Structure 1
Amino acid sequence: MDLYYEISGEGKPVILMHSGGADRRDWTFVAPVLAERYRAIAWDGRGCGKSPSPTETADYIGDLRAFMDHLQLEEAVLVGHSIGGQIATEFALTYPQRVSKLVLIAPDLSGFPYSKEFMEWMESIRSAAPDIERMMEISLASASYRVVMASPQRELMTEMWKYNTGKMFEWATWESVWPKPPAFERLGELSVPTCFILGKEDVPDLHRIAECFRAVPDIRFVEIEGADHKPTLTHPEEICRHITEFLED
């Protein structure tokens, strides 16, 4: 296994998958608390943190399957944040027998019709490349991050985003492959018990994604007051409490 990971604690395995522009440090304040009860496994997705850059079209679902095989895990709890949540959702749809429970924190959703405003924001970031400082300025000025950027975790957020965005320019390709049809069209087939956690201050597209997940047969929703797209950094105690309550229910 060429992907970097860190394990702490013992017990039920809980795999932590970080958001875009981040790495395992997304779980800096979450993993130690979960490790008091569970085997917390935080990994760097391909091209992020200490993991190697993609040399061909990325298959994140295949990476997760290989990662679990490497750790000899037949089944695990998946906790995915943002793009990590998209990976977790797709994996649970493809391999439901390998996911005991699913926790999604402000997840992306393949096939979802993102708003014009969101797409224009993404394009403005891409258009600023390869000026990493300008890309970071545009990205972190978004409403998605107004809470975390006003918090004590601003420095960690900035450092993590700058490092991983810079690393993206080392990738052989930015292309990725996802199962078809997209998860947006198959949420009613998601059979794994699911907990959907969202910051109340997150952008409208994420609240629309939450509405889409109401198609999931077995799901609970949690809204965190005063949190934006990075509750893992600003509200870790609440995140851990809701995860633990869900897993122990």
Structure 2
Amino acid sequence: MDLYYEVSGEGKPVILLHSGGADMRDWMYVAPILAKHYQVIAFDGRGCGKSPSPTGVANYVDDLLAVMDHFQLDEATLVGHSIGGRIATDFTLTYPQRVSKLVLIAPDLTGYTPSQPFTEWMQKIQETQDVDRMVELSLSACPYRVVMGSPQKDLLTEMAKHNLAKIFEWATWESVWPQPPAIERLEKLANQTCLIIGKEDAVDAKQIAEYFKEVLPERRFVEITGADHKPTLTHPEEIARAITEFLED
């Protein structure tokens, strides 16, 4: 297993999966709170943070499986943020017996068709060859208006700059995902699930959250007032409380 990870605390295992353009520092405020009660495993996804860049087509679900096997975990709680939520959802649908509970924070979802504004925004970022411009385009958008006006602005900016620069080391942007897409089989998600979203998040994130609520009416739903797409940085106590209450219920 070649991914960089850090472990803290003792107890039932909780694995943290960070968002895109970021790394395990996404959890730097949440992890210490959770580690008071659980064994917390945070890792840098492939191509992010201190983990190696993809040398071919990436398989993030297989990477998560490798993390669990490395720690010899029969099962664990998964906490996924944004694309980390996409990975956690696909993993849970593929290996339901390995997931005790599932926590999704503003998750992405395989098979979801993004809005035109989101698609155009991402295209502008991907067409830019200048890292500083990529960071500017990324963080000036709606999903980050709250965090970019907070004390965590510099942390997010540094994370984005580091990880967007690292993209140029990737052999390819391509990745493979389990089929069919999760959006077509979400009703099969039988694991206990908690969905968390910031009230100020972007339209696409809210649409995905609504889809989860519609398809999985028994799931727990938590909305964080005053948070955007980065509640892990701006509202860590509320995030940790929502996770802990869900796990202890």
The alpha-carbon deviation at position 217 of structure 1 amounts to 5.4
Q: Please give the alpha-carbon distance, in whole angstroms, between the structure 2 residues aligned to 1:245 and 1:180.
A: 33
Map Cα deviations across residues 75-121 of structure 1 (whole Å, 9 max, x no partner): 00000000000000000000000000000000001110111111011
CA contact (8 A) 1:8 1:41 kept: yes
* Over 4 Å off, 4+ runs: none
CA contact (8 A) 1:192 1:218 kept: no
Map Cα deviations across residues 136-166 of structure 1 (whole Å, 9 max, x no partner): 1111000100000000000000000000000
Q: Please give the alpha-carbon distance, in whole angstroms, between the structure 2 residues aligned to 1:236 and 1:45.
A: 21
Partner of 2:162: 163
Describe the SS at the equivalent of 1:159. helix
Partner of 1:4: 4
Q: Please give the alpha-carbon distance, in whole angstroms, between the structure 2 residues aligned to 1:194 and 1:218.
A: 8
In the alignment, residue 147 of structure 1 is paired with which amino acid? V
Describe the SS at the equivalent of 2:29. coil
Partner of 2:34: 34
Map Cα deviations across residues 37-84 of structure 1 (whole Å, 9 max, x no partner): 000110000110110011110000111111100100010000000000
Partner of 1:120: 120
Partner of 2:89: 89
Partner of 1:16: 16
* Percent of residue pairs identical: 69
Gaps of 5+ in 1: none
The alpha-carbon deviation at position 218 of structure 1 amounts to 3.5
Describe the SS at the equivalent of 1:79. strand
CA gap of 1:103–1:207, structure 2 versus 1, over 3 A, is: same
CA contact (8 A) 1:189 1:216 kept: no
In the alignment, residue 193 of structure 1 is paired with which amino acid? Q
The alpha-carbon deviation at position 127 of structure 1 amounts to 1.6
Map Cα deviations across residues 151-184 of structure 1 (whole Å, 9 max, x no partner): 0000000000000000110011110000111011
Partner of 1:25: 25
Q: Please give the alpha-carbon distance, in whole angstroms, between the structure 1 residues aligned to 2:211 and 2:204.
A: 11
Describe the SS at the equivalent of 1:77. strand
Partner of 2:244: 244
Describe the SS at the equivalent of 1:222. strand
Q: Please give the alpha-carbon distance, in whole angstroms, between the structure 1 residues aligned to 2:218 and 2:39.
A: 24
The alpha-carbon deviation at position 216 of structure 1 amounts to 2.1
Q: Return the TM-score normalized by structure 1.
A: 0.98
What is the number of residues matched between the two proteins? 248
Describe the SS at the equivalent of 1:169. helix
Partner of 1:53: 53
Q: Return the TM-score normalized by structure 2.
A: 0.98
Partner of 2:223: 223
Partner of 1:197: 196
CA contact (8 A) 1:191 1:218 kept: no
Describe the SS at the equivalent of 2:169. coil
In the alignment, residue 54 of structure 1 is paired with which amino acid? P
Alignment of 1:92-107 (within 5 A): 92-107=92-107
Q: Please give the alpha-carbon distance, in whole angstroms, between the structure 2 residues aligned to 1:208 and 1:224.
A: 16
In the alignment, residue 44 of structure 1 is paired with which amino acid? D
Instruction: After superposing the two structures, state which structure 1 stretch, 233-242 or 215-224, moved more.
Output: 215-224
In the alignment, residue 155 of structure 1 is paired with which amino acid? D
CA contact (8 A) 1:82 1:108 kept: yes
Q: Please give the alpha-carbon distance, in whole angstroms, between the structure 2 residues aligned to 1:60 and 1:124.
A: 24
Partner of 1:146: 145
